[in-house]
Amino acid sequence: MQTFFPRATYYFTSLSQANSPKPKMSYKTQYFPQQLDHFTFQPNSYKIFYQKYLINNHYWQHGAPIFVYTGNEGDIEWFAANTGFLLDIAPKFRALLVFIEHRFYGESMPFGKDSYNSAETLGYLNSQQALADYAVLIRSLKQNLSSEASPVVVFGGSYGGMLAAWFRLKYPHIAIGALASSAPILHFDDITPRSSFYDAVSQDFKDASLNCFEVIKGSWAELEALSAQKGGLVELSRTFRTCKDLHSMSSAWDWLWSAFTYTAMVNYPMKANFLKPLPAYPVKQMCNIIDGFPPGASKLSRVFAAASLYYNYSRTEKCFNLENEPDAHGVRGWDWQACTEMVMPMTCSNESMFPPSGFDYKEFVQQCMKRYGVLPRPHWITTEFGGKVSTSLLMNSVTGSFDDPFSCHLPTR
Amino acid sequence: MQTFFPRATYYFTSLSQANSPKPKMSYKTQYFPQQLDHFTFQPNSYKIFYQKYLINNHYWQHGAPIFVYTGNEGDIEWFAANTGFLLDIAPKFRALLVFIEHRFYGESMPFGKDSYNSAETLGYLNSQQALADYAVLIRSLKQNLSSEASPVVVFGGSYGGMLAAWFRLKYPHIAIGALASSAPILHFDDITPRSSFYDAVSQDFKDASLNCFEVIKGSWAELEALSAQKGGLVELSRTFRTCKDLHSMSSAWDWLWSAFTYTAMVNYPMKANFLKPLPAYPVKQMCNIIDGFPPGASKLSRVFAAASLYYNYSRTEKCFNLENEPDAHGVRGWDWQACTEMVMPMTCSNESMFPPSGFDYKEFVQQCMKRYGVLPRPHWITTEFGGKVSTSLLMNSVTGSFDDPFSCHLPTR
């Protein structure tokens, strides 16, 4: 029953589903008149849209560095609120902080509410146009500040980290360095094994507790078996405390899957609120829940309780909406990118805690054609930005902790 | 009477006006299915056109280097025939030679005969799309040859040299080096003085002979004075041995201007046939002609004789067609590029041998709007490719002799 396609593109999109807390830093919101298409000169290319960016000059001294966050797939406020590192280092460098929103996300919509209408409008949503946006905006900003000599360092995490690394590669005359965090720039064109992401997620749980790993691994079959029973979905709905009765197993399946995957992605050593509010070492906490059940408890009840840590750590939810989650702002944007250039095939190996699955490229193409009428260009990112070769050329720091599920997709020197 | 606009963009376009002699190397002609727009994902972006390239594997050993000429504004055969250097060094490196034609030139027309119809079609003609074409083609070629490890070095002259340098900057994972010859990559955004090109042309003539320089410098006023006389154009037509009577002075003016400018650009120390058949040291030869006239000869008769060296060194012309020269293939292509991204303002200083002239940006914009309906983006090239900063980052050799009129626009280390 599992369709791999949505899952393969899933983990990024959740970023924009998170609530957007107000950034902790104080900033001014600005809008930059940006050009729709930097790489053609057709009449339509000259259309102007307003790109949002946040700026904080509290610590800045004229001529000092400019730290730019190259925004990724979501509201820029949210990334600003969750990138405390820049605020931490700004005083030491007397740096200007700038967070630039990615085109087609947040308020930076080239065609307003029609931006996601079709491939005609979405066609302008891609990483190269975004990088050019950043280049044009940074150059203009430096001119307006009369601070052309200020060194620029770009920062980003996840897709934003890819953009930071690629910006340094493509615009070395604008950025003297990049700090790319958890940026899976080797996640293309089979540079790294397709199974490595979910293998790494699984390893995080295995490292926390072998029993925990095995309970999760066995829970999928239990879920399928229960759903196949007469009245199984009703029982499943009760077990999972759903607000409404479930119509199919797949939403429970996705709900669990997301909880384990996202928790591994934000397995920080401190309490945090990036994707959701979570305690320190949330993977370990989840496993404590699973391991703490009395012997004989079903795997399903254990994994539900563990997943509840992710969805309800703040204990505000009385029941869970597993189906028809609102299509929060920005979700479709990443799905489009995954269907065009961000083709990152993912599989689950027998060694993972997820059911083994392959990647059917033909099916993937069909789904992209059906949804957007667009053909993926699976080799384009490695042509445009390179793979291992280009990363060795980057004078960057590409960072990520060893339990980061993207750790296999980061370049090592 | 002089309009600066056509002249500012003139010197490159003549390349494609030259006859295209058969290349001296033997090569196979191939056509690569290329994508119209690498940087958007609209339905139109996926249109395929056939990009021509020439390949010579006579010296190649599998795994040895691939030398790629990044084609500029004209038929690729013509550049292949005039880039003997690659053929000279191929045996030593056992290199594969590949000459790739630039989109919208030669046979590589994305919309066939309609390619130059409007800004809608021409909008896809620009340097970034061309570089992406080269990247895609090179990568595919290496795969087809099963020679992914072959190092690639890109070569080019003039605009093709810019492309080679920029390719190395933007695609360091594909090209390990670039040799960019006479590539004025600093000719943008006032990085170098606007007058430096024509100052350098003039200096070449001054170095050959001060009298020669002064005769040319004085000839423009003589030309204007004669044309203003009653019957002046008839006499001018006779002096210039035109095939048909001239209707205005400007064609004679342009004809002389081009002769001196182009000759300085191809002032090679050996007999050559790049723009036209010419002897070794053609500037010196022109000045010998000018200086060899008896005292009292008019400046106009002297400069006509000198210009005839350029237009008729092979002595095949009985008369000259100064007006209505056929709009040879490719000319409009460069004019479009000059109106969009290749904005290289040129002026003539009082010290040059040309009449002093400025650069009226407003008028330039008006002419581009009138001709193509397109607005120039004068700061785009330096944003996308940088200026002095990026050239210092290039691990390139950007070459040019000191009497090259582009010598001021080349980076120095």
**Binding-site residues on chain A for chain B (CB distance < 8 A):** 37-43, 45-46, 119-120, 122-126, 128-129, 132, 135-136, 139, 169-174, 340-341, 373-375, 377, 379-380, 383-387, 389-390, 393
State whether A38 and B384 contact (CB < 8 Å).
Answer: yes
DSSP assignment letter at B185: T
d(CA B229, CA B245): 15
Question: Are the beta carbons of A162 and A138 closer than 8 angstroms?
Answer: no
For A41, nearest residue in chain B (alpha carbons): B123
Within a domain: residue B235?
Answer: no
Query: What pLDDT, on a 0 to 100 scale, did the predictor assign at position A331?
Result: 54
Q: What share of chain B in percent tops pLDDT 70? A: 86
What local confidence, expressed as pLDDT, does residue A275 receive? 81
CATH of the domain at A40: 3.40.50.1820
Whether A48 maps to a domain, the answer reads: yes
Q: Are B255 and B240 in contact (CB under 8 A)?
A: yes
Higher-confidence position of A344 and B332: A344
In a domain, A105, yes or no: yes
Q: What is the value of ipTM here, to two decimals?
A: 0.88
Which pLDDT does position A398 carry in this prediction? 54
Q: Which pLDDT does position B9 carry in this prediction?
A: 37
pLDDT of B130 strictly over 80: yes
User: What residues of A are in contact with residue B135 (Cβ under 8 Å)?
Assistant: 383-384
Regions of chain A where pLDDT drops below 50: 1-20, 329, 395-396, 413
Q: What residues contact residue A397 under an 8 Å CB cut-off, 6+ apart?
A: A177, A178, A179, A180
Give the residue from B34, B41, B169, B371 with the most A CB atoms within 10 Å of its CB, the best one to mutate.
B41
Strand-pair partners of A181: A157, A399
Could you give the number of structural domains in chain B? 1
Residue from A149, A138, A1, A140 nearest A71 by CA? A138
Is A37's CB within 8 Å of B38's CB? no
Residue B79 scores a pLDDT above 70: yes
Domain span at residue B56? 28-181
Whether B388 is in a domain gets the answer no
> How many contacts, defined by CB atoms under 8 Å, are there between A and B?
111
Q: Is B140 a domain residue? A: yes
Cβ-based contacts of A139 with chain B (< 8 Å) = 379, 383
- pLDDT of A409: 66
Classify residue B95: in a domain, yes or no.
yes
Sheet holding A48-56, edge to edge: A28-35, A48-56, A96-100, A66-70, A152-157, A177-181, A397-399
Listed residue (B139, B153, B160, B6) closest to B75, CA to CA: B160
Q: Residue B4: which pLDDT band, with cuts at 50, 70 and 90?
A: very low
Higher pLDDT, A128 or B193: A128
Closest among A150, A132, A164 to B379, alpha carbons compared: A132
Q: In the structure encoding, which two tokens stand for residue A32, read together?
A: 């930059």
Cα–Cα–Cα angle for A189, A193, A194, nearest 5°? 75
Cα dist. B224→B2, B8, B216, B308, B352 in Å? 11, 21, 13, 20, 18
A107 lies in a domain?
yes
Nearest CA in chain B to A132: B384
Alpha helix ranges (H) inside B153-249: 159-170, 196-208, 210-228, 232-239
Model pLDDT, residue A104: 96
pLDDT at B14 over 90: no
**Cα torsion at A336, A342, A347, A352 (round to 10°)?**
-100
DSSP class of B295: T
Cα torsion angle, B333, B337, B340, B346, sign: negative
pLDDT of residue B15: 45
- d(CA A386, nearest CA chain B) in Å: 6
Q: Tell me which of B173, B188, B380 to substitute to probe the interface with A (most A C-beta atoms closer than 10 Å).
A: B173
Residues composing chain A: 413
- C-beta neighbour count of B214 within 10 angstroms: 15
Per-residue confidence (pLDDT) for residue B6, from 0 to 100: 32
Q: For residue B399, list its beta bridge partners.
A: B181
Give the pLDDT confidence score for residue B13 in this predicted structure: 42
User: What's the confidence (pLDDT) of residue B24?
Assistant: 60
Q: Which of A84-98, B75-89, B115-129 has the lowest mean pLDDT?
A: B75-89
Closest residue of chain A to B137, computed from CA coordinates: A383
Nearest CB among B136, B172, B340 relative to A41 is that of B340
Whether residue B141 lies inside any domain: the answer is: yes
Contact: B379, A139; criterion CB under 8 Å: yes
Per-residue CA distances from A248 to A62, A223, A259, A322 (Å): 59, 11, 18, 10
With contacts defined as CB-CB under 8 Å, which chain A residues touch B38? 39, 128, 380, 384
pLDDT, tens digit, for every residue of B235-279?
999 999 999 999 889 999 999 999 999 999 889 999 988 888 999
